[in-house]
Structure 1
């Protein structure tokens, strides 16, 4: 029993207007030459935004530092003075032409919770860490969740040698952003450093809005396998080469897109498949394409379906390409296995929502999250709030301020309950 007893104090209600203003403030950092909100990892808007985040953490009474992987970590000391910490947070980078809420809600709500704890004189037993993890979103290097991989000890030297479409190594990109790549490989936290990790996030899907529930208690985070296929055909004159004599790399890549979609549509449970990008050459309507490259991915909370889908996709793409006389080279950039949330944390989040009179339902996450990697370090749970029309990764992404404040209130209540456990 702690000095405050077994029952946690009442969770302080967040300042909804201040939280909404913070989201608007962070949205100012984006590429103004493009629609939506583009704040991609290593970009200048992302670099500038991180100083703003550090200042917000300092204003909240957190002691912010930038670790060896570029994560911004704010610490609110607890009464025990060290030991395993309660951890929350998310990310503030975006996909190209993205929205204002994905990841951002988790970071800024964590800062708001810390602010309200300090304003109400509520002292936790454990230290509270609020983290803005570096580079969560997928990118041309094929490595998402860079910062959380580092603290979880699963960022590998081989990852640093991956290159983007311009031939830049990830290690060099990190170095240019002020991150020592070798230090990022060595800074893993110990499992005993984390008492529990809880991440608040927008759902990015339609389940909560359709059901009318205010809060989602996440049951599992989908596994993600990313696929890179290189197609090697033969160039030729577009006007004089008969159709039966062609070895068209772009046509094989286009057929592969349909294969990926067909496999995703055949998933018996939660499973999706997406082709995100094709690049081909030489890029002339008068020349048959002699090379093409396809990036695609599959996701599911069912690991066995992922394994079967990988085989089907490769077998079908290979057979179709062979029929056209096109050679392929396949590389799987596996991102993560499916990760269940901790049952005890699901119960705690549900109880916190009940305490605040907020309806909730159990939902899976089809998106990847930093939380999947933090699960290696301690019990992990996630809280979802609704996304309007289920839209995300686009400028139309939206969650009302009232729903975000409700999620932040559940986050505070959950952290207080975990603090006393």
Structure 2
């Protein structure tokens, strides 16, 4: 069973951490190097030519029935958030290696090459910029990120040099569209839908785009005991109404819209003072860009109306916008076929979380396969995939690869 080998390697990789108390493996750290070397050894054992590229992505290539053919690229990331779970990212890399190892054991060569990439930095923990490894491969890496500093004040440029890389050669990692037939990623779902459906895997329809807003409401601070309720301009009460409005609006939507306020700050922040200024951050995601943009416009309109009625001044700014990455219909169809052939239901669902496919879509059609995770828990030490589900994901991915038909 491929699942047993995958779980064993997940545990091996999960032991490589900054501390013994929790799993933390960030970009260009000593732990990153140790993990890269281990993944390289697994790729070589699977019959692949393996190397680190110019930004420290781990890259393996299994040639087709003749050398130099365009590839089907499989991948995911091997960095983590702080205090992470073991499965987010590495499951996709390790499962892909297990599939190639199976092909190699049977002496199977395909009419295309198979490449696997373990992306060096998807999470963006160290330099506050995500998808660095996949952006380098897609040729969209922003050179300005090299001047970003980590918590110790070290720039990415300096960290790369310490790691043994040349920041001036990041462009060498870039691939061209014609070199890839497609990019396909297996990943844990990071949500509860597959568990609710009692299914081990799901076919992803799109990686949802996201808009992030920073809202600032200003009222009037005052004494908690002396200002009558009817005369207050309470910025925190106004923010609370805005947040409930966002929740109600998104709950009423049936097309995958989600909205989250994850940060709020009230000033002056004293128990006996009416808050005069409040800031909060808002994250809006949807599987379709037009739907998300329309939702953002309506949410902003509602916040503006609340601020006006409460006599609060408002400043609201877009701080981040990522477009939706739709999974290609021709790839979804082949993935659904692989799922069905394994005797499973080809259930479709969107990804609310971001993935490397959001960068890779600039040079290739993309597809994703989700594997059920217990409780929908992710970015948490409780993150878990049952061995039987890991095996189901591997069987589907292997069937997809062996029967892959490049787009005409």
Q: TM-score by structure 1 length?
A: 0.80
2:8 alignment partner in structure 1: 21
1:268–1:185 distance in 2 versus 1, CA, 3 Å: farther
1:201 alignment partner in structure 2: 187
1:63 alignment partner in structure 2: 49
| Root-mean-square deviation (Å) | 3.7
Give per-residue Cα distances to partners, 1:120-167, cap 9 Å, x unaligned. 222233222111112222548553222112222333345556677887
Give per-residue Cα distances to partners, 1:3-41, cap 9 Å, x unaligned. xxxxxxxxxxx5332211001111112354655x33344
State the Cα distance separating 1:68 from its structure 2 match: 2.3
After superposition, residues 87-236 of structure 1 pair within 5 angstroms as 87-137=73-123, 139=125, 143-157=129-143, 180-184=166-170, 187-229=173-215
Structure 1: gaps spanning 5 or more residues: 1-13
Give yes or no for contact 1:161–1:171 (8 Å, CA) kept in 2.
Answer: yes
State the Cα distance separating 1:388 from its structure 2 match: 2.2
1:265 alignment partner in structure 2: 251
Instruction: Name the SS for the 1:360 alignment partner.
Output: coil
Give yes or no for contact 1:86–1:419 (8 Å, CA) kept in 2.
Answer: no
Instruction: Name the SS for the 2:210 alignment partner.
Output: strand
1:11 alignment partner in structure 2: none
Give yes or no for contact 1:246–1:324 (8 Å, CA) kept in 2.
Answer: no
2:71 alignment partner in structure 1: 85
1:53 aligned onto 2:39: yes
Deviates more, 1:248-257 or 1:209-218: 248-257
Size of the aligned set, in residue pairs, is 405
Instruction: Name the SS for the 1:408 alignment partner.
Output: helix
After superposition, residues 291-306 of structure 1 pair within 5 angstroms as 294-306=280-292
Distance 1:56 1:238 in 2: 65
Give yes or no for contact 1:198–1:411 (8 Å, CA) kept in 2.
Answer: no
Instruction: Name the SS for the 2:262 alignment partner.
Output: strand
Structure 2: gaps spanning 5 or more residues: none
Distance 1:331 1:311 in 2: 11
Give yes or no for contact 2:218–2:276 (8 Å, CA) kept in 1.
Answer: yes
1:420–1:331 distance in 2 versus 1, CA, 3 Å: closer
1:359 alignment partner in structure 2: 345
Give yes or no for contact 1:272–1:298 (8 Å, CA) kept in 2.
Answer: yes
Instruction: Name the SS for the 2:317 alignment partner.
Output: strand
Distance 1:63 1:252 in 2: 59
Distance 1:34 1:283 in 2: 33
